[in-house]
Structure 1
Amino acid sequence: MHKWLHVTAVALLLSAALLVGCDQGATPESTGKLNITVSIVPQKYFVERVGGEYVDVNVMVLPGASPATYEPRPEQLQDLSDADAYMRIKVPFENAWMDRIASANPDMLIVDTTEGIERVPMEVHHRHGEKEHEPENPDPHIWLSPELVKVQSQTIYEALVELDPVHQGAYEANLDGFIADIDVLETDIRETLEGVESRRFIVFHPAWGYFARDFGLEMIPIEIGGQEPSAAEMAELITEAQRERIKVIFAQPEFSTRDAETIASEIGGEVLLISPLAPEWLDNLRNVADTFAEVFGQ
């Protein structure tokens, strides 16, 4: 009888130990992965390229939503209690939400991935051929410049090393590999756009300013400062498109295409969608360059 009780007690202790072990195995600490939250989908790609197998990345702005107007869900703020870091990129929604994001987890490292980057003011294209700057409205779309993504990746690397110095060697190797891929991307895009005569393009939302600057293009936005154009401005855009023989108006999935379609209809052209928020960043920029080259060659 005593022997049976002894065996049963041992079995119960072993079962409890196994249950504790299973529970511990489910925690982020025991998996060895950092829990990182970012603002937009392209940042997820950057962090995963540098962090590799040692990071789990969550995205605040859900696919299809706009970083300009997004409002985080309550469960997203709750999930930040498990985050090791939040990597911000200063897209507009952060202006209203960053304090609440930070207060959701006082122990969470806040990383400003715009550090070391001089963000240029949004260019407002006036219909008379002049350009002015809005000094209070810096262009947030720094993830669409390969050169600026190199700077962001270095900041991401430094943050990961601060949180997890044990894997510094892996992070450094991943960073070097990512930078090499960006170098190849830049070369490919320049070769793709080499020789095209027309380098001006009309786009609804002015997301592609840094990309245009990097590769010698000129962006003509329909939307100005978040405001849709007036009837007079629409007329001037149509005239400009006709003068420049522009036949394609670019738009993006996160915004209405109504104004783009109106202009395209007036010039006998078409609307093409290009997304600045696609998940596969390298492939997306390469595909966008191919699209520009094809359109410029028409």
Structure 2
Amino acid sequence: MKKTMLATLTIVTALAMAGCGTANTANTSPQTDEGTSKIKVYTTLYPLEYAAKRIAGEYADVANIVPAGVEPHDFEPTAKDMVALSSADLFIYNGSGFEAWVDNAVKGMDKNKTTVVNTTEGLSLLEAAGGHDHDHGHEGEAAEAGHDDHKEGSGAQGHGEHKEGSEAQGHEEHKQDAAAATGSTEEHAHEHEHDHGGTDPHVWLDPTMLKAQAEKIKSALVEKDKAHADAYEKNYQQLAADLDQLDKDFADMVSKSSKKEFMVAHSAFAYLAKRYGLEQVAISGIDPADEPSPSEMKELVEHVKEHNISYVLFETLASPKVAEVIAKEAGVQTGTLNPLEGLTEEEAKAGKDYLSIMKDNLEMLRAALK
């Protein structure tokens, strides 16, 4: 996400202005049943908000700075957001280059007040898949056999010339749809590129990685609020048990599946693929707005046919148009695989959370891998 000098100035100015108002904000903090102020926690990503709320329980106010329904790749904080962040006791972010605005925000924070937690620091991160080379995620053995040793999958190879006859005619019939969905030029695919620092940020889609992030959150809460350390530890252990069970459920499902390859709208599922010995074929790179060219669309359609892929999976916060064109031309179904970068307003109202959506993802993959 490209930053401008104006955006940087807005952030710095907001933080400077906020310095005078921090004390008043703190005085209005909700009270616990023991009469002490709750600590304030801000997160930058829904899975981190979920983990922080589970661990903090009643002893902290946790809020995600990115509103429901907003694609986090496109988010830029307002001056009001920055004033709110300046009052935080804990600021928890994903890291790995996912939140392009965070570096500037952190520079202006009062480190004596706000503890900043980079939840991917020290974790083993994967390289970001390049846009349109259709990296497959990570190949490996069955789910039971050492998930962490799976090798990175190579990019999907070109499939040569299209067949003559009815298939070639079918491609021609959908050519205009494909061009419209991709913006019709090769160059358009790179107009919305974001800098993720060369690493894939979507660690939370591997439940064991979110568990590691949650442990960092727990440690930060304990350090900030030692009086409730036992509660934070207990709540963390309950969350860890839920994530362990989710991990087991995914491994069991994959072990019974006949396929190991699935096609997704953008390359968000490499950690999940590596964990369970699967192979993702991504329509776009790390950024869902980074769309394939018409020639790459043709290659993807041919890949779907040749590999007997039965679903093209898109997500909730980005446009499904490209995935729908590929599925239509290949004659297969579409479905939703949620990268959980954020909740939609409908999901939030329905009480959906990380665990329930990941279970929906499991069932969608079960169908796609048949």
> TM-score under structure 1 normalisation?
0.84
Separation in structure 2 between the aligned mates of residue 93 and residue 143 of structure 1, nearest angstrom = 12
Q: Say whether residues 1:52 and 2:57 are aligned partners.
A: yes
1:126 to 130, 133, 141: 133
Cα separation, partners in 2 of 1:235 and 1:47, compared to 1, 3 Å = same
1:84 to 80, 89, 96: 89
Shift of 1:238: 0.6
1:273 to 317, 331, 336: 336
Q: How does 1:224-239 map to 2 (within 5 A)?
A: 224=285, 226=287, 227-239=290-302
Cα separation, partners in 2 of 1:97 and 1:179, compared to 1, 3 Å = closer
User: Which one has a bigger Cα radius of gyration?
Assistant: 1
The match for 1:258 is 321
The match for 2:305 is 242
Separation in structure 1 between the aligned mates of residue 253 and residue 360 of structure 2, nearest angstrom = 10
The CA deviation string for residues 151-201 of structure 1, in whole angstroms up to 9 with x for no partner, is 111111110011101111111111111111111111122222222111111
Separation in structure 1 between the aligned mates of residue 276 and residue 248 of structure 2, nearest angstrom = 10
Separation in structure 1 between the aligned mates of residue 324 and residue 119 of structure 2, nearest angstrom = 35
Q: How does 1:213-224 map to 2 (within 5 A)?
A: 213-224=274-285
The match for 1:158 is 219
Q: Secondary structure at the match of 1:138?
A: coil
Shift of 1:105: 4.6
Q: Say whether residues 1:290 and 2:363 are aligned partners.
A: yes
The match for 1:114 is 120
Cα separation, partners in 2 of 1:40 and 1:68, compared to 1, 3 Å = same
Separation in structure 1 between the aligned mates of residue 72 and residue 300 of structure 2, nearest angstrom = 26
2:77 to 68, 72, 85: 72
Asked whether the equivalents of residues 265 and 323 of structure 2 are also in contact (C-alpha less than 8 Å), the reply is: yes
Bigger mean CA deviation after superposition, 231-240 or 59-68: 59-68
Asked whether the equivalents of residues 135 and 281 of structure 2 are also in contact (C-alpha less than 8 Å), the reply is: no
Separation in structure 2 between the aligned mates of residue 136 and residue 92 of structure 1, nearest angstrom = 5
Separation in structure 1 between the aligned mates of residue 197 and residue 86 of structure 2, nearest angstrom = 33
Q: Say whether residues 1:99 and 2:160 are aligned partners.
A: no
The match for 2:44 is 39
Asked whether the equivalents of residues 121 and 136 of structure 1 are also in contact (C-alpha less than 8 Å), the reply is: no
> TM-score under structure 2 normalisation?
0.68
Q: How does 1:3-18 map to 2 (within 5 A)?
A: none
Where does structure 1 lack aligned partners over 5 or more consecutive residues?
A: 1-22
Amino acid at match of 1:126: D
Asked whether the equivalents of residues 247 and 267 of structure 1 are also in contact (C-alpha less than 8 Å), the reply is: no
Separation in structure 2 between the aligned mates of residue 136 and residue 94 of structure 1, nearest angstrom = 10
Structure with more of its chain in helix, by fraction? 1
Cα separation, partners in 2 of 1:38 and 1:256, compared to 1, 3 Å = same
Q: Secondary structure at the match of 1:83?
A: coil
Separation in structure 2 between the aligned mates of residue 169 and residue 78 of structure 1, nearest angstrom = 31
Asked whether the equivalents of residues 266 and 286 of structure 2 are also in contact (C-alpha less than 8 Å), the reply is: no
Where does structure 2 lack aligned partners over 5 or more consecutive residues?
A: 1-24, 137-152, 156-194, 344-351
The match for 2:192 is none
Q: Identity of paired residues, percent?
A: 29
Separation in structure 1 between the aligned mates of residue 357 and residue 135 of structure 2, nearest angstrom = 33
Q: Secondary structure at the match of 2:63?
A: strand
Separation in structure 2 between the aligned mates of residue 225 and residue 183 of structure 1, nearest angstrom = 26
1:175 to 228, 231, 236: 236
Q: Secondary structure at the match of 1:98?
A: helix
